[in-house]
Amino acid sequence: MTTPRVFIIRHGETTWSLSGRHTGATDIPLTSSGEQRIRATGRALVGPDRLIVPRNLAHVYVSPRRRAQRTLELLNLRLPLPWVDDDDKQTKGEDMKGQQEHDCAARVQVSESVREWEYGDYEGITSKEIGEQRRARGEEEWDIWRDGCPGGEYVCLFPSCVLSIIFCSINSRSRKTKDHNTEN
């Protein structure tokens, strides 16, 4: 049995991440450079002799944001993706080639628990612009971990999202181990 590991992979580059704009709920697609970099990351990290061995994955969580799902597609983990149908495989051609042969039995779950931070009033603006707004209101320098985002996410909710994913992963692994032991 392999040692349990957790991999956290952020989505590829978008026009907003490139320009420093905070992106949460807005579903911005990857740039072509972002797609190329994720493909290269997949080639470097994914494979039977690499850091991420697809057949050893038990569970994959992905944000409902399209940029995150596209990132997962481009990593080429060779697993069934719930949002990809046969028409998508035809349209995306080379990008979906490895996905057609499922070497990975991991369950893919689209989950709000791993979605991007909700920036609320700060959605789509840069940290510099946030600082200017806060100075104009006489507020101290912004610290997302202390201040959160007005109209957005509360910092105190972040740990519960992370813990829920960890507990779900442990339960998923326990069920997989129990099923394996029952079969033998």
User: 7 lies in a domain?
Assistant: no
User: 140 lies in a domain?
Assistant: yes
User: 89 lies in a domain?
Assistant: yes
Phi, psi torsion values for 51, nearest 5 degrees: -60, -45
State the pLDDT confidence band at 73, using cuts at 50, 70 and 90: very high
User: 169 lies in a domain?
Assistant: yes
User: 66 lies in a domain?
Assistant: yes
Of 11, 13, 59, 73, the catalytic one is: 11
> pTM of whole model > 0.85?
no
If you write DSSP's letter for every residue of 135-176 in order, what string do you get? HHTTPPPP-HHHH--TTS--GGGHHHHHHHHHHHHHHHHHHH
The residue segments making up the domain with residue 172 are: 15-183
Per-residue pLDDT at 97: 54
User: 8 lies in a domain?
Assistant: no
102 is annotated as an active-site residue: no
User: In this structure, what CATH number is given to the domain that contains residue 146?
Assistant: 3.40.50.1240
59 is annotated as an active-site residue: no
User: 1 lies in a domain?
Assistant: no
State the pLDDT confidence band at 116, using cuts at 50, 70 and 90: confident
Domain count, the chain: 1
pLDDT digits over 137-174, tens only?
999 999 998 888 999 987 777 667 677 777 776 776 56
Residues in the chain: 184
Mean pLDDT of the chain: 84
Q: Is the pLDDT of residue 131 over 90?
A: yes
pLDDT digits over 17-47, tens only?
999 999 999 999 999 999 999 999 999 999 9
Report how far residue 114's alpha carbon sits from residue 110's, in angstroms, rounded to the nearest whole number. 8
Q: Is the pLDDT of residue 122 over 70?
A: yes
User: 128 lies in a domain?
Assistant: yes
